C-alpha cells in the first residue's frame, strides 16, 4: 500500500497505474518503503493505458475524504469522469453492444482525454470543445486534436451515429445538444441523474418525452459522486 503526497507538487496533474506498477507523471508518489517512481511523457504515451486514479483503492486507510477531494480537484484539470481502464471498457462495451462501430462525436470534450483513450482503444471519434472553460483547462497541450467549435454547431456539422456528452454543466447545454440531434442518433450521456450536478430538468424531461433510454450502467466515480453512462436514442 502507498500514499500520495498531496501538495508536494503544486501543479499535481494526475496519477496512472499500469498492471501492478504505480506510475506518477509530474507527481511525487511515496510508497511505504520510500521508493519513488516517475514516468516521462513519451513513456506515458507508449503505455496505451487509460489514466487509473482509482486502482490504488479509495477504501484504504491511507486516504481521507479531504485527500480524495483535493486529488479530484486537481484531476478535474484533465477530466471530470474517472478515466480508469474499467470505465473505458464499460463505455466501449455499451457502444459496441448496442450500436456496433459508430462514427462518434464528442462535444464539450475539454482537453480531449476521454476521446484520446476511446480512440486509442479503437473508437472512431472526433473531439470538439469551444474553449469556454479555459479557466479550468490548459488548452495549449492536448493529447488529441480538439476542434474549437460549440457543441450545437458540431452536432450540425458532423452527421455521426453517436454523440458523446460527458459532465455537461447544469444549464441548457445538454438539452440544446439533444434537441439539435436528428432522429435515430444516439447520445452517450455521462453524468448524474435528475437533481444531480450535471444537466438540468429540461434535459431529463426531453429524454422522457422524445427519447428511448437504451441502457444505463454503473461506473467508477469519486466518493460522493454518482455519475454514470446512459445511452439514449432520439426517437
Summarised one tens digit per residue, pLDDT across range 73-85 is 777 777 889 888 8
- 146 and 183 within one domain: yes
Summarised one tens digit per residue, pLDDT across range 41-72 is 333 334 444 444 443 333 334 445 556 666 67
CATH number at residue 209: 3.40.50.150
- Domain extent, residue 172, equals 85-234
146-148/125-129 β-pairing: parallel
pLDDT band, residue 220 (cuts 50/70/90): confident
Q: How many CB atoms lie within 10 A of CB 31?
A: 12
Tell me the whole-structure pTM to 2 decimals.
Answer: 0.75
Q: Which residue has the higher pLDDT, 30 or 233?
A: 233
- 157 and 111 within one domain: yes
Q: Which residue has the higher pLDDT, 62 or 125?
A: 125
Summarised one tens digit per residue, pLDDT across range 176-196 is 999 999 999 999 999 999 999
- 106 and 14 within one domain: no
Amino acid at each position: 500500500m502507498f500514499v500520495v503526497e498531496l501538495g508536494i507538487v503544486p501543479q499535481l496533474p494526475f496519477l496512472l497505474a499500469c498492471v501492478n506498477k504505480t506510475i506518477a507523471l509530474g507527481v511525487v508518489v511515496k510508497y511505504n518503503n520510500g521508493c519513488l517512481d516517475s514516468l516521462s511523457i513519451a513513456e506515458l504515451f507508449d503505455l496505451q493505458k487509460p489514466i487509473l486514479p482509482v486502482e490504488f483503492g479509495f477504501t484504504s486507510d491511507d486516504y481521507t475524504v479531504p485527500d480524495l477531494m483535493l486529488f479530484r480537484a486537481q484531476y478535474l484539470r484533465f477530466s471530470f469522469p474517472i478515466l480508469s481502464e474499467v470505465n473505458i471498457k464499460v463505455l466501449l462495451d455499451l457502444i459496441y453492444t448496442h450500436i456496433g462501430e459508430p462514427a462518434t462525436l464528442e462535444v464539450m470534450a475539454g482537453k480531449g482525454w476521454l476521446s484520446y483513450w476511446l480512440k486509442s482503444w479503437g473508437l472512431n471519434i472526433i473531439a470538439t470543445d469551444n474553449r469556454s472553460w479555459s479557466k479550468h483547462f490548459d488548452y495549449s497541450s492536448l493529447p488529441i486534436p480538439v476542434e474549437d467549435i460549440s457543441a450545437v454547431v458540431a452536432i450540425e456539422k458532423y452527421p455521426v451515429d453517436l454523440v458523446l456528452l460527458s459532465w455537461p454543466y447544469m444549464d441548457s447545454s445538454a438539452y440544446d445538444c439533444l434537441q439539435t440531434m436528428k432522429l435515430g442518433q444516439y447520445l452517450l450521456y455521462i453524468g448524474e441523474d435528475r437533481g444531480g450536478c450535471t444537466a438540468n430538468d429540461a434535459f431529463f424531461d426531453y429524454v422522457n418525452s422524445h427519447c428511448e433510454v437504451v441502457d444505463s450502467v454503473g461506473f467508477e466515480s469519486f466518493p460522493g459522486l454518482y455519475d454514470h453512462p446512459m445511452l439514449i436514442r432520439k426517437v
